[in-house]
Amino acid sequence: MSFEWVDSEKALDDVIDSVLTGSRYAIDTEFHREKTYYPKLALVQIRWGTQTALIDPLAVDPRRLGRLFSSEILAVFHAAQQDLEVLRHASSESPRNIFDCQVAAGFVGFSTPSLATLVQAVKKTSLSKGDRLTDWLRRPLTDQQCAYAADDVVHLFDLHDELTKQLIEFGRVEWVNDACAELVGRPTGPQDPSDAWLRLKEARALKGSSRGVAQALAKWREERAMRSDLPPRRVMSDMALIGIAQRIPKSVEELANTRGVDDRHLSAEYCKEIMTAVREGAKKAVVLPIVENDDVDKIARPALTLITAWVGELARKHKIDATLLATRSDITAFLRQSPNARLREGWRAALVGDDLTRILNGEVGLSVDRDGHLKLVSSATS
């Protein structure tokens, strides 16, 4: 496979100029985030027409890609969610008009297929196997690594064409357009550091002042991780954070004797910040936020399992990935009668939302047919 290695601003501008003359381009990224807080972009693969470029973001400013991303030219991805986040962080922009082959495949009978699975199913071709543990930030990359990276975009146009053909036959082109627009509009990047404590496995078991300490300490850890560009657990382990929250040390000696606390946490800089967070957190009365299932009226809770089953049946019947049709959050929002519930608008309302309204109003019930599939029956017959 031939490709152009792009490691100069001039070469990058030339690639962008050429891509902008077409109607679409295929794009993928390689990145690492194991050792950093923010994802580190290591490579951008772009294909347009019959040309492929591997752009080295370690040698060129990836913000120059903003000129391409701000255009209305269609960007063809596979599994775009993480790529969009990585590109937004590295270049301050991401493509705004996208076609996600993985999402589209979910509307024609596939269930979150990998690129290799989709290429095999559509093109009867096997992707080359690469080393999943490749360090994409190392230079130079081998010819084999570059060929493997280029392979991630070389089949996307064929997938786009075939999936679009099937979507037209199913009458679901607009559904995919809506789903891809939702993906582009989804918030990415760091969440509110004040909510970081809720991601701790033991958070909901904490009581009283320990909650406040956990919230303040997790907020400190998150902000310190952002400033240092380190994974939060590299700043302080969950074990140490929970241990401090449970013990609420009042002195450095008590802090030092807390499980998981190491010498770094006892350094002058860290120790002062940790003890400040502990003191401030201990003063706060923190109330656990209501989770999805708690926020559904008790009367409606039994309907959650029933509706989930019907969504699964409809997904099977219409050959749609059930997670695209309705997530648990979508069903909960519907039961809460949230005005922004996705099941109350667009194609989801037509496909499943109207049925759910009839079920909740008691107009219809569910029964099982001879083949073991669910079906709607009028309340008079049920």
Identify the pLDDT of residue 297.
56
CA dihedral 277, 281, 193, 247 (to 10 degrees): 80
* Residue 296: pLDDT band with limits 50, 70, 90: low
Does the pLDDT of residue 128 top 90, yes or no?
no
Arithmetic mean of pLDDT, 103-109: 96
Let me know: does 125 contact 155? Beta carbons within 8 Å. Answer: yes
Identify the pLDDT of residue 300.
62
Residue bearing the bigger pLDDT, 104 or 306: 104
Question: How far, in Å, CA of 358 to CA of 334, rounded?
Answer: 13
Please state, rounded to an integer, the average pLDDT across all residues of the chain.
Answer: 92
Does the pLDDT of residue 308 top 60, yes or no?
yes
Identify the pLDDT of residue 364.
87
pLDDT per residue as tens digits for the range 1-59 = 699 999 999 999 999 999 999 999 999 999 999 999 999 999 999 999 999 999 999 99
Does the pLDDT of residue 295 top 60, yes or no?
no
Identify the pLDDT of residue 21.
98
For 237, residues 6+ apart whose C-beta sits below 8 A from its C-beta are 260
Identify the pLDDT of residue 203.
87
**Hey, what amino acid is at 328?**
R
Identify the pLDDT of residue 306.
84
Identify the pLDDT of residue 35.
93
Identify the pLDDT of residue 382.
47
Does the pLDDT of residue 325 top 70, yes or no?
yes
Query: Which CATH class name applies to 4-185?
Result: alpha beta
**Hey, what amino acid is at 76?**
V
* Residue 369: pLDDT band with limits 50, 70, 90: confident
Share of the chain above pLDDT 70, in %: 95
Strand partners, 48: 51
Question: How far, in Å, CA of 204 to CA of 116, rounded?
Answer: 40
Q: Where along the chain do its domains lie?
A: 4-185, 193-282, 292-378
Lowest mean pLDDT among 132-146, 156-170, 177-191, 348-362: 348-362
Residue bearing the bigger pLDDT, 320 or 298: 320
Identify the pLDDT of residue 291.
58
Lowest mean pLDDT among 81-95, 97-111, 345-359, 366-380: 366-380
Query: How distant is the alpha carbon of residue 338 from its chain centre?
Result: 23
Residue bearing the bigger pLDDT, 118 or 290: 118
Identify the pLDDT of residue 335.
86
pLDDT per residue as tens digits for the range 333-367 = 888 888 889 999 899 998 988 888 888 888 888 88
Arithmetic mean of pLDDT, 83-112: 96
pLDDT per residue as tens digits for the range 178-223 = 999 999 999 888 889 999 999 999 988 999 999 999 999 999 999 9
Identify the pLDDT of residue 115.
95
Arithmetic mean of pLDDT, 278-288: 91
Identify the pLDDT of residue 380.
63
Q: How many CB atoms lie within 10 A of CB 169?
A: 10
Q: Say which CATH topology domain 292-378 has.
A: DNA polymerase; domain 1 (1.10.150)
What CATH number belongs to 193-282? 1.10.150.80
Identify the pLDDT of residue 194.
94
pLDDT per residue as tens digits for the range 211-234 = 999 999 999 999 999 999 999 999
What's the token pair of residue 321?
Answer: 């990935």
- SS3 of residue 34 by DSSP: coil
Mode of pairing for the β-strands spanning 24-32 and 40-48: antiparallel
Would the CATH topology of 4-185 be identical to that of 193-282?
Answer: no
Arithmetic mean of pLDDT, 242-267: 96
Kind plus residue range of the DSSP H or E element containing 256? helix 252-256
